[in-house]
Structure 1
Amino acid sequence: MKKIKVSLRPIVSKINLPTVMKTAIPPGDSMERLFIATQVGEIFYIGNSSVRTFLDIRPLILRLGTSEQGVSGRGYDERGLLGLAFHPQFFYNGLFYLHYSVAGTQGPGALSEHFRPNPCDPGTLNLRWLNRENQYDHIDTVEEWILQTNGQPQKRRTLLNLRRPFFNHNGVNSLNFSPETGKLVLTTGDGGAGYDPFNLSQDNMEIAGKIIEIDVGKDRFIDNPPVVTRFNELPVPIQETLTVIAKGVRNIPGIQFQRVYNQYIKYVGNVGQDLAETIFSFVQYKPIPVTQLVQTSLLASETDLEGFINFGWRGWEGAFPTTLIRGCAENPVLAEKTIAYYDEAIKTSVSRLQPLTSYYHKDPRPDKFGGTALTGVQAYMGNSIPDLTGSVVFTDLARDDKSPARGVLAYTRVRTDGKLNDFSIIETDYNFGSQSAYYVSLGTNLNQNRVFLGVYGSMKVTDFNQGTVFELVQ
């Protein structure tokens, strides 16, 4: 594929870590505005060449970069303000939606020690998440807000309260509206800790590791739903608002929709474990009502999963069976690779969706790169960068061969024969100097003819005001 070079045009700098970048036309406005949500809980918008605060919920966000009971810890964190979506009729009704980690909900976590599966020890392959009401890391919430006529945002209701087992794999850019169904789409990671210890992503009853549609037009008459981890723990009126699109998710930077003629291609990125980062695409799917999943579970019968999307995790990491990697003591340049979950890889080998493309943490090819973590996927339908028109752009947190840290942009396209495609690097001309530059997020505008890149100067959320948002330009 052709190598492309773009420029990065700074839009705003010295902000906190940007998790969501998208545009909307606010009520009473005549212009499409760029909104930027930060991990610590701020939402800004760009208006008349100035940065203005739309909403600040920092007091509602748990203390980031801390461990149990707020004790200062790692600095790196995957919790916080993770999702922002505007209702398709936002201009008329002022409704928007947030997904964030709730202040004061820190717990000890679901496991007391680091987890790594051992194919020789079945006990590590069949763990269960027990005592969930006490053994968890934090609680995430999904809320509906409204921009009042006086210009002040106000919370209207809570849609979901989710108990999460670990601090990581909560998703990012996790709320997006489907232009096909008009429903709010929530993408949830597998709960974290690496290797999905409890296999939540493949369990049909678990909310973790799924892509879920929420019908926000239905009033459930429940303002404060219970804190849950499984679909069958939800009250029936809430179950009736939910359908599940997909399972087998490890961690996910949102779902994107690209209109091609009279249909939409859906793009989903699945963050990898130790081997590969993967992008999937699909057009047709059959969402399954949560009430049907629960009923099937109660009857202990098989659910008809035809048309149900399965990304394959935890048995598969992209195009490969999930692998344990161990260095060879006698030859440090080589590594031993062992299939972690052989039986699960076999069970899901046929039902899983084949990837659109994968890139790897180690890649010997001279024109590729070794990645760290997929942080954004966006379709580009503009004409100002002609070589990218119709492609899907993605970004990785940091190349493994650069110091100071440098993220990387790349792109791929859907093949007409549906087979796995290659990818190519998008080179940039921006000089970050001696500063680290982690590529933490991607965003786009309503028409997908502009792409925005969020860059941060540190891996620690507690290092403040080191963020810049750029636009990709020819």
Structure 2
Amino acid sequence: MPDILLPGAAPERVGLEFVTGGFTMPVALASPDDGTGRLFVADLPGVIRVIDAGVNEPFLDITGRVVDLRTGYDERGLLGLAFHPKFRENGRFFVYYSAPLRDGAPEGWDHTSRVSEFAVSTPNRADPGSERMILEVDQPQANHNGGSIAFGPDGYLYIPLGDGGGANDVGRGHPPGGNGQDIETLLGKILRIDVDGEKPYGIPADNPFVGREGRDEIYAYGLRNPWRTAFDAGGEHRLFAADAGQYLWESVKIIVPGGNHGWNLREGNHAFDPGNPRESPADAPRTGRRGEPLIDAIIEYPNANQPGGIGAVVIGGYVYRGRAIPALVGRYVFGEWNRAGTDGDGIIFSATEDPGGQWDFTEVEVAGSRTVGAYVLAFGEDAKHELYVLTAEERGPVGETGRVYRLVPA
């Protein structure tokens, strides 16, 4: 595994330019390709605000449709926001949120994850009555919800889903072998659907499991909790996913169509034993239960539960394609929720591709303070491909400490 700080190298440095604050837990930032340059930020309790010329305005409020959140810590809420590629013409956008458990869901399960379409009524206001439910997935536990929906370069909507929650991908709502490895469930997967075809959605004809065993919606599987996924705006437009680990290993994966990304046979690139999750078995499996190859993670680091561990939860980011910070161009910028041994001090990393295997990565120093000084919740990208980091000082959805910063030259 590469060192957190490459030997003999100084860390990269960036500045964090304050953009706006007053959020509870900002977890998604998106900018439609409509020529306005506006930024939209989704706040976990259920509000989307539009940021235009430094003015924050409510764009959509669905707090009454989101499950009641636990203020101490909660992974549920309004988790994703994606604008239709033709938003300028059709005013359509999509959200992913945690709704109360729907009628007919398995008894004793926790909530229902919902992907819905909305439409705008004015440029800076959405019509809350325009909701059209696209997809609902029942969740046995409260955690591991994924949610960072995005349109790919092919125009299809990609939906990351965690394994259903709990721990080790076992227990109520988890079949033998786990949801991550079960291709007959949508949990633990990345889905790919056509929101412009049949209602409520269509299946792209080239989805990997069309015409064979497995759910047609599945694009890739073997994920634990893909917390923030994003397409590279340049290059081959690859899809990056940070997969939050269990006890020992945090990892980042490049998603392969039809690929098995390992969970719960592996945690990162290490073998995983659900019966003894705090110790990695010596030999990591190379194939899944159907003989298919397991896809290696490109980045892996030890969790804070290990001696010398770096942090608690990996936070997915973006390949930098902006112009403001030339030293980062082509590098994958991602983060860590909270540095080991601290209480609310996330980390920003940059990673350099190694075509032969594991990517090298290093900490990005924040000019002036050297550290972020708050929990890192997510990253965002604007229409010019400049990057933003979303933070909060609280562990759970309480207060108004959530902030948005733009990455700028040091």
> TM-score, with normalisation over the residues of structure 1?
0.74
- State the Cα distance separating 1:164 from its structure 2 match: 0.4
- 1:322/1:340 contact within 8 Å kept: no
Cα distance change of structure 1 residues 159 and 340 upon mapping to structure 2, 3 Å threshold: farther
SS at match of 1:59: helix
SS at match of 1:161: strand
- The sequence identity of aligned pairs, in percent, is 27
Show the counterpart of 2:50: 45
Cα distance change of structure 1 residues 345 and 167 upon mapping to structure 2, 3 Å threshold: farther
Asked whether 1:24 is paired with 2:21, we answer: no
1:358 corresponds, among 286, 300, 307, to 300
Cα distance change of structure 1 residues 93 and 438 upon mapping to structure 2, 3 Å threshold: same
1:153-168 aligned within 5 A: 153-154=127-128, 155-168=130-143
Show the counterpart of 1:268: 241
Cα distance change of structure 1 residues 317 and 35 upon mapping to structure 2, 3 Å threshold: same
Structure 2: runs of 5 or more not aligned: 1-5, 202-213
Task: Supply the AA of the counterpart residue of 1:410.
Answer: F
1:75 corresponds, among 72, 75, 82, to 72
- State the Cα distance separating 1:272 from its structure 2 match: 0.5
Show the counterpart of 2:207: none
Asked whether 1:421 is paired with 2:356, we answer: no
Structure 1: runs of 5 or more not aligned: 66-73, 108-130, 223-238, 287-307, 327-334
Asked whether 1:33 is paired with 2:38, we answer: yes
How far apart are the structure 1 equivalents of 2:102 and 2:218? 28
Cα distance change of structure 1 residues 221 and 354 upon mapping to structure 2, 3 Å threshold: closer
How far apart are the structure 1 equivalents of 2:278 and 2:400? 41
Cα distance change of structure 1 residues 191 and 336 upon mapping to structure 2, 3 Å threshold: closer
Cα distance change of structure 1 residues 76 and 344 upon mapping to structure 2, 3 Å threshold: farther
Asked whether 1:146 is paired with 2:119, we answer: yes
Task: Supply the AA of the counterpart residue of 1:359.
Answer: Y
After superposition, give the CA deviation of every residue in 1:338-390 in whole Å (9 maximum; x if it has no partner). 5399889774886111111111115777xxx6110012221111232122110
Cα distance change of structure 1 residues 87 and 430 upon mapping to structure 2, 3 Å threshold: farther
Task: Supply the AA of the counterpart residue of 1:59.
Answer: G
- 1:64/1:77 contact within 8 Å kept: yes
How far apart are the structure 2 equivalents of 1:138 and 1:52? 29
How far apart are the structure 2 equivalents of 1:341 and 1:137? 35
Number of matched residues? 382
- 1:106/1:137 contact within 8 Å kept: no
> TM-score, with normalisation over the residues of structure 2?
0.85
- 2:191/2:218 contact within 8 Å kept: yes
Asked whether 1:183 is paired with 2:156, we answer: yes
Task: Supply the AA of the counterpart residue of 2:246.
Answer: Q
SS at match of 1:352: coil
Cα distance change of structure 1 residues 460 and 93 upon mapping to structure 2, 3 Å threshold: same
Show the counterpart of 1:444: 381
- 2:390/2:405 contact within 8 Å kept: yes
Task: Supply the AA of the counterpart residue of 2:229.
Answer: I
Show the counterpart of 1:127: none
- State the Cα distance separating 1:412 from its structure 2 match: 0.8
Asked whether 1:102 is paired with 2:99, we answer: yes
Asked whether 1:314 is paired with 2:264, we answer: yes
Task: Supply the AA of the counterpart residue of 2:361.
Answer: F
After superposition, give the CA deviation of every residue in 1:207-237 in whole Å (9 maximum; x if it has no partner). 1001001100113269xxxxxxxxxxxxxxx
SS at match of 1:194: coil
- 2:247/2:278 contact within 8 Å kept: no
How far apart are the structure 2 equivalents of 1:38 and 1:149? 21
- State the Cα distance separating 1:413 from its structure 2 match: 2.2
How far apart are the structure 1 equivalents of 2:244 and 2:157? 22
Show the counterpart of 1:247: 221
Asked whether 1:339 is paired with 2:290, we answer: no
What RMSD, in angstroms, separates the aligned Cα atoms of the two structures?
A: 3.1
Q: Which moved more, 1:346-355 or 1:55-64?
A: 346-355
- State the Cα distance separating 1:156 from its structure 2 match: 4.1
Task: Supply the AA of the counterpart residue of 1:423.
Answer: F
After superposition, give the CA deviation of every residue in 1:253-304 in whole Å (9 maximum; x if it has no partner). 233222445x32221111111111111125xx44xxxxxxxxxxxxxxxxxx
Deviating runs (4+, > 3 A) in structure 1? 149-152, 323-326, 338-350, 362-365, 430-433
Show the counterpart of 1:128: none
- State the Cα distance separating 1:436 from its structure 2 match: 6.2
How far apart are the structure 2 equivalents of 1:339 and 1:281? 24
1:392 corresponds, among 317, 332, 337, to 332
- State the Cα distance separating 1:324 from its structure 2 match: 7.0
1:9 corresponds, among 13, 17, 21, to 17
Task: Supply the AA of the counterpart residue of 1:394.
Answer: F
1:173-252 aligned within 5 A: 174-179=148-153, 181-197=154-170, 198=174, 199-220=178-199, 243-252=217-226
Cα distance change of structure 1 residues 430 and 15 upon mapping to structure 2, 3 Å threshold: farther
- 1:62/1:106 contact within 8 Å kept: no
1:169 corresponds, among 130, 135, 144, to 144
Task: Supply the AA of the counterpart residue of 2:194.
Answer: D
- State the Cα distance separating 1:7 from its structure 2 match: 0.9
After superposition, give the CA deviation of every residue in 1:418-451 in whole Å (9 maximum; x if it has no partner). x112211011135499x96111111111342x11
How far apart are the structure 2 equivalents of 1:170 and 1:210? 11
SS at match of 1:254: strand
